[in-house]
Structure 1
Amino acid sequence: MDTIKKFISYYKPYKGMFFTDMFCALALSGIDLAFPLIVNYLLDNVYTLQDKNTMIKLVVYIGLALLAMYAVKYLCQYYITSYGHIMGAKMEANMRSDLFNHLQKLSFSYYDNTNTGKLMSRIVTDLFDISELAHHGPEDLFISILKIIGSFIILLSINVSITLILFVFTVLMVFFAIKYNKKMKSTFTRNREKIANVNAQIQDSLSGIRVVKSFANEKVEGKKFHKGNLEFLETKEAGYFIMGRFFSGNQFFQGLLYLSVILTGGFAISGGKLSPSNLVVYILYINIFINPIDKLVNFTEQFQRGITGFERFIEVMETEPEIVDSKNAIELKNPKGNITFNNVSFSYDNKNEVLKNININIDAGKTFALVGPSGGGKSTFCSLIPRFYEVYDGSISVDGIDIKSIKLKSLRNFIGVVQQDVYMFSGTIRENIAYGRTDASEEEIIEAARKANAHEFIMELEDGYDTYVGERGVKLSGGQKQRVSIARAFLKNPPILILDEATSALDNESEKYIQKSLDELAKNRTTIVIAHRLSTIRNADEIVVLNDDGIQERGTHEELLSKNGMYASLYNMQFEMF
C-alpha cells in the first residue's frame, strides 16, 4: 500500500486531467450500458407498434439521441486517448526527472557498485511501463467496475436465477485471476532483472568496443551477450506460459458463461419465464459484462509490469546519498586554501584501509605533491578533499573549517580537479571547456584554451571551437583531451587545484608548455599534484611519498634526494629510463 500511495502522489499535479479522464470514462460506460436498454425498448415497444408513422418518428428520435450519444462518446474517447496518454507521459517525465536528479545526488560509492546499463534500464524501460499504467490503469479499472456493476444490476432485473449462475462463474474467474496474478508478478520481476543484465552487458561491450576489437574478442563478447540474452528469453518464455494458461483459462470461463446463459435461458423461455427479446438483451449485456472482465485481465498484466517497474524506481529513490550537507552547513566564502588532514583514515570496504592516520597541513598558496607506487592512496587522498568519499575516522578542514560543516556545492565550487582519466562530454570543444564555468564568455573560453596550450590545435580543426568531440571525446587524441580538461580548470580559476597526473597523456613538447601554464595557474592558490613524472614536481613546496604503509618521506625535491630513500630511488629510476 505504501508503494501505491507513492504512485498515486504523482497524479497530484494533474488532478484536473485525471478527473476529466475519469468523467469521460464514466460517460463512455453509461453510453455502453444504455445501448442494450435502448435495443430492448425498440424490440418491445417500438418495432411492435401497428402505427407505422408513429414507429418511424420514434425510430428517428431514438436515432438522433443515439447520434448525440455517440458524438459525446467520440469526444470522450478522443480526450481519453490523447490527453490521458499525455497525462501518463507527463508523469513519466516527472519520475524520470526525479530519478535523474536523485542519481546526481548519490555518492561515488553508489556508482562504484552499480552498473550504468542497469540504471539506464530503470530510467527508460521501467518508466515507460509505469507511464502506461498511470494512464490506462485507473481508467480501465474505473470503466470495468462501472460496467460490471451496472450490467450485473440490469441482468438481475431481467432474470435473477440466470444472473446468480453467472455470478458463480464470475467468482471462479476472480479466484483464477488472483492465483495467476501472483505468478505473473514474480515472473515480471525476474524479467526486469534479466533485461537489466542484458542492457548492462550491451553498455559495457559498446563502451569498450575499441578494446574488444583490439583483442579481436568479438566472439567472447558475443558469447557473453548470448548467455544473458538466452536467460532473458527463458524468463520471458516462462512468463508467456503462465500468461497462456491465464488467458486461455479466462476464455474458457467466458465460454462457460455463454453456455450457462444459453442453456438456462432456453429452459426459462420454454417455461414462459423469459421472452426471446429479453434473452437477446441478456446476451448483449453479457458481452458488456465480459468485456470489462477482459480489461481487468489485461489490467492485471499491465499493473504487474508497471508496479514492478515502480518498485525498482522506488528502490533507487529510497537509496540515500552517503554524503549530504549537515544540518547547519555553511557557505564557504573566499577561502585562502589552507588544508589540514587530522588523523585521517579511509577504507572503501570498511576492512582494508587505504589511508591510515594521515596528518598533513598544506599551507594556502603552496604546491603540495604526492608520489609513490600505484594503489598507495594518492588519488583517494585527493578525492577526500571535495568529499567525493567520506573519511570514516579523523577530519579534513579548509581554513580551519571541517569540510563536513561546509555545503557540498560551496566546497566543490572552490576546488578544481584535472584527472588522469579525462572525461569529455558528447558535444563541442567550446561546451566542454565552458563546463568549467557555464556563464563564461567566448573571450574567456579562448583565453583559458590559450593558457592550456589548446587554442592552436583547436583552430586547426575544421570547425574550431564548434568541433564535435564525439562520445567520451573519441575524435580527440589523449593529449588534446587532456589540454581541454586543463582549459576547464583555467576557466574555473579555483583557489584549490587538484592535478591528478594531469600531464600524463602529453608528449614531451606539449608537457613543457603545459607545465609552464600549470606553474602559472598554481601561483597564489593551493595546488595538490599527483605526479608520475617526478621531473614535473621539482619546484613543489613539499613532496610526500605515500605507499600502502602510509607516509614514508616528506620534504622538498632537494631534501628528499639528499636522503637517498624511496623518492631518490624512484627519481633515479625515471632518470635512467629517460
Structure 2
Amino acid sequence: MFIIKRFRSLLRPYYKDGLKISLSLLFLTLITVINPFFYKEIVDNGIMTGNTAYLIKMLVVLALARIIQELLYLLQTSITLKIRKGVFTKLRIDLYKHLLKLPQSFYSENHRGRMLSRITSDVDAVQNLLLDRFVYFVQNVLVGVFIFFIVIYINWKMIVAACVFLPIFYGLYLLFKNKIFMLSKIVQEKKEGLMERLQEDLLMVKAIQSFSVFEPRTEQTYIAMQATEDAKRKLSMKYAVASSSTTIINILGLLIIWGIGGIAVIKGEMTIGTLIAISFYLNYIVSLFFSAYDIVVGFHKSLPAAERIFEVMDLSLIIQDRPDAVDIDLIKASIEFENVSFSYPQREPVLKGVNFKLDQGDIVGIVGKSGQGKTTLANLIMRFYDPTEGMINIKGIDIKRIKLKSLRKSIAIVPQADYLFNASIKDNIVMGRKDVSEEQLRIACEFANVDSYIAKLEDGYDTIVGEDGIRLSAGQKKRISIARALLENPYVLILDEATTSLDRDSEEQILKSVKLLAKDRIVLIITHSIESIKLSNKVLYIDEAIVNQFYGYEEYIIEKHVKGCSKK
C-alpha cells in the first residue's frame, strides 16, 4: 500500500485526465452491460419470432454500440498513454537527478551499471501494473457491480453459483503471491548484475583484446546471461501456472452456469435469449474474478522493482545545502584547513589534523606517494566529501555553510581520468553551460593548448570525439579537460596529475599558462612532476595521513631530502 501511495503523488497532476478516463469508463460500462440485452433481443424477438425487420434493427444498434465501445477504448488508451509518458518520464528523471546528486561515497560502494538497471528495467517493470491493467481492473469492477444486480434480478441462483469460486481465487492468491514476489526479486537482481557485467566488458574492451582474455570473459558473461534467463523462465512458469489455475476454474464455472441455465430453458423457466444474455453477464463476472486475481498476483510480480526504485530515491543526500547556506563570491578568498581529519567508512584515516592556509596568488604543489590522500584533499575542497573532524573555511565561512552551486561554480578540477562524452570537442568543453561566449571558449582553449591541434582536424571544434574520447590521443583528451575547467574562469583551479599524459612541450605550455592564471586565483597541482613542484610557492607533502607544509620548492627539497622531512 505504501508503494501505491508513492505513485499516487506522481499521478496527482493528471487528475483532469483521470476524470476523462473515469467518464469513458462509465460509458464503456453502460455499453458493456447493455450489449447482452441486444443479443437477447436478437434471439428471442428477432430469430425465434422470424421478425426480420426487428432483427436488422437490433443488429444495426449492436454494431453502433460496438463502434462506440471501440472509440471509447481508443480514447481511453490515448489518455492512458499520455499519463504513462508523463508519470514514468518524471519518475525516470527524478531517479536520474537523485543519482546525480548522491555523494561520491555512494559510487565508491555501488556499481553504476546496477543504478542504470534501476532507471531502465525497474521502471519498465511497474508501468503496466499502475496504468493499463489498473484501468482495466477498475472497468471490470464497475461492470461487475452493474451485472451483479442485473443477474440477481433475472436469476439469483446464477450469481450464487458464480460466487462459489471467490474463496478458491483467494486461496490461489495466497498460494502464489509470496513465491512470485521472491522470484521477481531474483529476476531484477540478476538483470542488474548482468547490466553491470555488460557495462564493464564494453568499457574494458581494449583491455580484453590486449590481454587475450576474450574467451574467459565471454564464458563468464554467458553464464551470467544463462542465470538471468533461467530466473526469468522460473518466474514466467510460476506466473503461467498461477494464470492457468484460474483458467480451469473459469471453464468449470461456465459449464456449471450453462448447466443450470440449460435446465431452466428445458423446463420453460427461461428463454434461450435470456440464457445467452446471462451467460454473457456471468462471463463478465468470472472475468472480473480472474482480472482481480491476475492484478494482485501481478502486483507482487512488480513490487520488487518498485521497492528497488524507491530504495534509491529514499537515499539521503549526505552532501547537500544546509538551511542556513549562503552564496559567496570567492574572489580574493582564502582557503583554510583547521585541524581537518578524514577517513573513508571502515578504513584507516587518510588525513589527520591537517592545518594550512591558501591565499590568492598561491600555486600549491601537493605531493606524496600514491594512495596517501592527495586527491582526497582536493575532494574535500570541492566538498565531494565532508571532513570526519575539523573545519574547512573559505573567507572565514565553514564550507558546509556555502551553497554547493556557489562553491563549485568557483572551483574547477581537472581529474586524473579524462571523461569525455560521445559529442563534439566544443560540447565536451562547454558541457551544456549556458551563456558561454565564443571568446570564453577561445581563451580557455588557448590556455589549455587545445588550439594547437584543432586546426588540423577537418571539423575543428565540431569534431566528434567518440565514446570516452576514443578518437583522440591521451594528450588531446587531457587538454580538453583543462579547457573545460578553465571555461568559466574559476577562482580555484585543481590540477590532479593534469600533465602526466602530455609531451614535454605541451607540459611547459600548460605550466606557463598556470603561472599566468595564478596571479588572480589559487592553483593546486597534485603531481609527481619536478617541473610542476618548481612552479609552486607552497608545497604540501602528505605522508601517512600527515600533511607537511613547505614554502617553495627549495625548502621542500632541503627539508625532505636533506633533513628528512622534519618540518610540519
TM-score band w.r.t. shorter chain: over 0.9
Give the whole-Å Cα distance in 2 for the aligned partners of 1:418 and 1:452: 11
Shift of 1:302: 4.2
Within 5 Å, give how 1:419-568 maps onto structure 2: 419-435=415-431, 437-552=433-548, 554-563=550-559, 565=561
Give the secondary structure class of the aligned counterpart of 1:69.
helix
Provide the residue aligned with 1:576 in structure 2. Answer: none
Q: 1:418, 1:233 → 2: CA distance?
A: 42
Q: How does 1:133-532 map to 2 (within 5 A)?
A: 133-300=129-296, 302-435=298-431, 437-532=433-528
Tell me the equivalent position of 1:118.
114
Structure 2 SS opposite 1:387: coil
The 2-side partners of 1:195 and 1:243 are apart by 18
**Quick check: 1:375–1:548 contact (8 Å CA) kept in 2?**
no
User: Are 2:74 and 1:78 equivalent residues in the alignment?
Assistant: yes
Cα deviation for residue 46 of structure 1 reads 4.6
Distance in 2 (CA, whole Å) between partners of 1:268 and 1:40 is: 16
Indicate the residue corresponding to 1:11 in structure 2.
Answer: 11
Q: Does 2:33 align with 1:37?
A: no
Does structure 2 retain, via aligned residues, the 8 Å contact 1:32–1:288? no
CA contact (8 A) 1:91 1:131 kept: no
Deviation digits for residues 434-482 of structure 1 (CA, Å, limit 9, x no counterpart): 2395422223212221221110201101111000011111111110011
Amino acid of the residue matched to residue 28 of structure 2? Answer: L
- Taking the aligned partners of 1:110 and 1:564, their CA distance within structure 2 comes to 37
Q: How many Å separate the matches in 2 of 1:110 and 1:385? A: 18
Query: What is the DSSP-based 3-state SS (H/G/I as helix, E as strand, rest coil) of the residue aligned with 1:11?
Result: helix
The Cα offsets for residues 144-173 of structure 1, whole Å up to 9 and x where unpaired, read as 212333333333233222321221123312
Shift of 1:257: 0.4
Aligned partners of 1:353, 1:530: CA distance in 2, in Å?
20
Comparing 360-369 and 399-408, the one that deviates more: 360-369
CA distance in 2, matches of 1:119, 1:231: 20
Q: Post-superposition shift, 1:554?
A: 2.5
Letter in 1 for 2:89: A
The CA RMSD measured in Å over matched residues stands at: 2.2
406-415 or 481-490, larger mean C-alpha shift: 481-490
Do the aligned partners of 1:92 and 1:130 also contact (CA within 8 Å) in 2? no
Tell me if structure 1 keeps the 8 A contact 2:333–2:360.
yes
Which amino acid letter does the alignment assign opposite residue 9 of structure 1? S
Quick one: distance in 2 between partners of 1:550 and 1:84? 61
Q: After alignment, is 382-391 or 77-86 more displaced?
A: 77-86
Code of the residue aligned with 2:328 in structure 1: it is L
Question: In the TM superposition, what is the alpha-carbon distance from 1:290 to its structure 2 partner?
Answer: 3.0
CA contact (8 A) 2:176 2:297 kept: no
Give yes or no for contact 1:338–1:363 (8 Å, CA) kept in 2.
yes
1:238 corresponds to which letter in structure 2? K
Secondary structure of the 1:327 match is: coil
Shift in Å, 1:199: 0.7
Give, in whole Å, the separation in 1 of the partners of 2:549 and 2:98.
42
Question: What's the CA shift string for 1:44-87, capped at 9, x where partnerless?
Answer: 345455xx7xx445444434433432332132111122221121
Corresponding residue SS for 2:165? helix
Give distance in 2, aligned partners of 1:435 and 1:263: 73
Question: 3-state SS of the aligned residue for 2:164?
Answer: helix
Moved more, 403-412 or 164-173: 164-173
Alpha-carbon displacement from aligned partner over 1:262-319 (angstroms, at most 9, x marks no partner): 3333443454444443323222223322333443344345433444322221111111
Describe the shift of the 1:65–1:560 C-alpha distance in structure 2 as closer, same or farther (beyond 3 A). Answer: same
Cα distance in 2 for residues equivalent to 1:402 and 1:39? 80
**Structure 1 contact 339–364 (Cα < 8 Å) conserved:** no
| Gap runs ≥5 in structure 1 | 570-578
Letter in 2 for 1:120: L
Partner of 1:89: 85
AA aligned to 2:348 is N
Moved more, 378-387 or 294-303: 294-303
Query: Higher mean Cα deviation, 503-512 or 157-166?
Result: 157-166
Structure 1 residues 74 and 489 mapped into 2: Cα distance closer, same or farther (>3 Å)? same
User: What letter is aligned with 1:344?
Assistant: V
- State the Cα distance separating 1:486 from its structure 2 match: 1.1
Q: Distance in 2 between matches of 1:392 and 1:551?
A: 16
Equivalent-residue separation in structure 2 for 1:11 and 1:295 (angstroms): 22
Which amino acid in structure 2 is aligned with residue 21 of structure 1? I
- How far the C-alpha of 1:327 sits from its partner, in A, is 1.1
Distance 1:437 1:19, change over 3 A: closer
TM-score using structure 2 length: 0.94
Which stretch of the first structure deviates more once superposed, 415-424 or 24-33?
24-33
CA distance in 1, matches of 2:432, 2:526: 21
Structure 2: segments with no counterpart, 5+ residues: none
Tell me the CA shift for residue 128 of structure 1: 2.2
**Counterparts of 2:354 and 2:115 in 1: how far apart (Å)?**
36
SS of residue matched to 1:130: helix
Tell me if structure 2 keeps the 8 A contact 1:501–1:531.
yes
Give the distance between the partners of 2:512 and 2:269, measured in 1 at CA.
104
SS of 1:349's partner is: coil
Kept after mapping to 1: 8 A contact 2:173/2:297: no
| 1:98 paired residue number | 94
**Residue 549 (structure 1) shift:** 4.0
Contact 2:162 2:286 in 1 (8 A): no
Contact 1:414–1:494 (Cα < 8 Å) also in 2: yes
Aligned-partner Cα distance in 2 for 1:506–1:568: 31
Q: Is the partner of 1:242 in helix, strand or coil?
A: helix
1:192 aligned partner, one-letter code: Q
Note closer, same or farther for the CA distance 1:5–1:465 as it changes in structure 2 (3 Å cut).
Answer: same
Question: Which amino acid in structure 2 is aligned with residue 489 of structure 1?
Answer: A
